[in-house]
A and B are shown apart, each in its own frame.
Chain A
Amino acid sequence: MKPVLKKYTLTIVSAVSIAASLLWLFGLGWTLQDQFTANEKFEQPKEKTESATSKKEDGKLTIFALGDSLTRGTGDADGKGYTGYLSDLLKEKSEQDINLFNTAIKGETSRGLLNQIQQGEIQRQAKQADVVVMTIGGNDLFQQGAVLESLDMNAINGKKQIYLRNVNNIYKQLRELNGDAVIYHVGLYNPFSNLPDAKTTSSVVRDWNFETAETAAEYENIVYVPTFDLFQLQVENYLYSDQFHPNKEGYKLIAERVASLITFEQKGDES
Chain B
Amino acid sequence: MINLVRNEMLKLLRKKRLYVIALIIAFLVPLFTYAQFKEIQDQREKMGTQDWRTVLQQEITDTQNRLSSSRIQDEWRKYLKIRLSQQQYYLENDIDPRAPGAPTFMRIFVENSIDLLLPLLVMVIVADLVSSEASGGTIKLLLTRPVKRWRILLSKYLAMLLSVSFIVLSVAVLSYGISGLVFGYGGWNMPLLTGFAVSGDELLTDNVHIVPQWQYILMEFGLVWYVCVIVGTLTFMLSVLLRSTAAVMGIMLASLIAGAILVNMVSSWESAKYFFMVNLNLTNYVSGMATPIEGMSLGFSMAVLAVWGLAGFIIAFVTFSKRDIY
A contact residues vs B (CB 8 Å cutoff): 6, 9-10, 13-14, 16-18, 20-21, 23-31, 34-36, 38-42, 44-45, 48-49, 51-52, 57, 60, 72, 97-107, 119-122, 124-125
Contacts and interface: CB of A to CB of B under 8 A. Distances in A.
The 8 A-B pairs with the shortest beta carbon distances in the complex, nearest first, are A27-B222, A28-B222, A24-B225, A17-B162, A20-B169, A20-B165, A21-B165, A31-B219
A102 B62 CA distance: 9
A105 B93 contact: no
A142 to B, nearest CB: 15
A66 to B, nearest CB: 9
B208 A60 contact: no
A98 B91 CA distance: 24
A44 B93 contact: yes
A105 B49 contact: no
A42 B165 CA distance: 33
A99 to B, nearest CB: 5
Contacts of A36: 298-299
Among A10, A31, A35, A52, the most chain B Cβ lie within 10 Å of the Cβ of A31
B92 A21 contact: no
Contacts, number: 141
B113 interface: no
B163 interface: yes
B13 A42 contact: no
Interface stretch (B50-58, B147-155, B309-317, B318-326): B50-58
Interface stretch (B181-189, B209-217, B231-239): B209-217
A39 B92 CA distance: 20
Given A6-B13, A18-B162, 19 more contacts: A13-B166, A14-B162, A17-B163, A17-B165, A17-B169, A20-B168, A23-B218, A24-B168, A28-B222, A28-B225, A34-B194, A41-B206, A42-B193, A45-B93, A99-B47, A99-B48, A102-B58, A103-B57, A121-B60
Given A13-B18, A17-B169, A35-B195, A120 B162 contact: no
A10 B285 contact: no
Contact of B94 (A29, A52, A104): A52
A27 B56 CA distance: 30
Nearest to A51: B51
Contacts of B65: 72, 104-106
Contact of A24 (B165, B193, B285): B165
B97 to A, nearest CB: 14
A57 B49 contact: yes
A106 B299 contact: no
Contacts of A17: 162-163, 165-166, 169
A48 B94 CA distance: 7
A34 B194 CA distance: 9
Contact of A31 (B64, B209, B223): B223
Contacts of A49: 94
Nearest to B282: A31
Among B48, B56, B161, B298, the most chain A Cβ lie within 10 Å of the Cβ of B48
Interface in B6-38: 6, 9-10, 13-14, 18
Interface residues of B, number: 56
Contacts of B6: 10, 14
28 contacts: A13-B18, A13-B166, A14-B9, A16-B166, A17-B166, A20-B169, A24-B165, A24-B221, A27-B218, A27-B220, A27-B223, A28-B223, A31-B286, A36-B298, A39-B195, A40-B209, A41-B206, A41-B209, A45-B94, A51-B51, A103-B57, A104-B61, A104-B65, A105-B64, A105-B68, A107-B68, A121-B92, A125-B57
B29 to A, nearest CB: 18
Judged by DSSP, the binding face of B is helix
A122 B165 CA distance: 46
B69 A101 contact: no
A20 B51 CA distance: 38
B275 interface: no
Among A20, A25, A48, the most chain B Cβ lie within 10 Å of the Cβ of A20
Given A34-B194, A35-B195, A101 B58 contact: yes
B144 interface: no
Nearest to B93: A44
Nearest to A39: B209
Contacts of A101: 54, 57-58
B271 interface: no
Interface string B273-295: 00000000000011000000000
A52 B51 CA distance: 10
A97 B48 contact: yes
A214 B56 CA distance: 36
A60 B58 CA distance: 18
B158 to A, nearest CB: 10
B57 A122 contact: yes
Contacts of A30: 215, 218-219, 222
Contacts of A122: 57
A250 B49 CA distance: 29
A233 B68 CA distance: 31
Nearest to B14: A6
B226 interface: yes
A221 to B, nearest CB: 24
Interface string B125-157: 000000000000000000000000000000000
B92 A44 contact: yes
A16 B68 contact: no
A31 B227 CA distance: 13
